[in-house]
Amino acid sequence: MDLASLFALAWPVLLKGSGYTLFFAVSAMLLGLPLAGLIALVRVLQVPVLTQLSAVYVSAMRGTPLLVQVFIVYYGLPSIGIEFSPVSAGILTLTLNVAAYMSETLRGGIHAVSRDQWLAGTSLGLTRQQTLRYVVAPQALRASVPSLSNSLISLIKDTSLVSVIAVTELMLATKELISTTFQPFPLYLMAALIYWVLSFVFEQLQRWMEKRMAYPH
């Protein structure tokens, strides 16, 4: 099969697969960000019991391979009566995983805010929680944008791991095409190009957000 015919055959399939990839990445990011914010707040405010539990959760998510986490959610949980569809299992696993990483990013952003900002909030009569919400959190979020964007770019690539549970995202779509065309090099190259394009788009979005949220000079 010549390259033109291969491209004509593969492009619609890979495009559909990339749509699933984007769906997984954006869904996990949107669901994971509020969870990450909650975890970061719990750890910063030192909420009894919840702080320790959240620390264990973050350590477990960051300390185990994402692939193992996918297997636990999709293949392990049914043994105790909890079942998910492949799509739900993929989104849940990616959400829990990325939330752990983003919570550390947000927590670091909060700690990076000058102590003077906390003192300024106190001098205005704000409680610690109000100071965190109205003074510190907006500055921390602004500082965290680059790292959060990197998490999304990494998440786009991590979606390839949900192919192991028969979700036809970009990587599984590529493998299925290879099994019928026996053209691994050009097809993997096309998949890599699509991942790169998706990542590049979000890199540009990151730069736009950084400019929008930058302090005025």
Question: What is the reported pLDDT for 1?
Answer: 67
Q: Are 54 and 43 in contact (CB under 8 A)?
A: yes
Closest by alpha carbon to 156, among 175, 171, 166?
Answer: 171
Q: How far is CA 57 from the centre of its chain?
A: 16
And the tokens for 33?
A: 């960000």
Integer Cα distance of 11 and 159 in angstroms: 19
Kindly report, residue by residue over 114-137, the tens digit of the pLDDT: 778 777 877 878 777 788 777 887
Q: Are 112 and 169 in contact (CB under 8 A)?
A: no
> What fold is seen in the domain 3-211?
MetI-like fold (1.10.3720)
Question: What is the reported pLDDT for 39?
Answer: 94
Kindly report, residue by residue over 145-162, the tens digit of the pLDDT: 888 888 888 899 899 888
Domain boundary assignment for the chain: 3-211
Integer Cα distance of 132 and 47 in angstroms: 14
Question: What is the reported pLDDT for 217?
Answer: 46
Question: What is the reported pLDDT for 94?
Answer: 96
Q: What is the pTM of this model?
A: 0.86
Q: Give, in order, the Cα–Cα distances in Å from 90 to each of 28, 43, 100.
A: 9, 27, 16
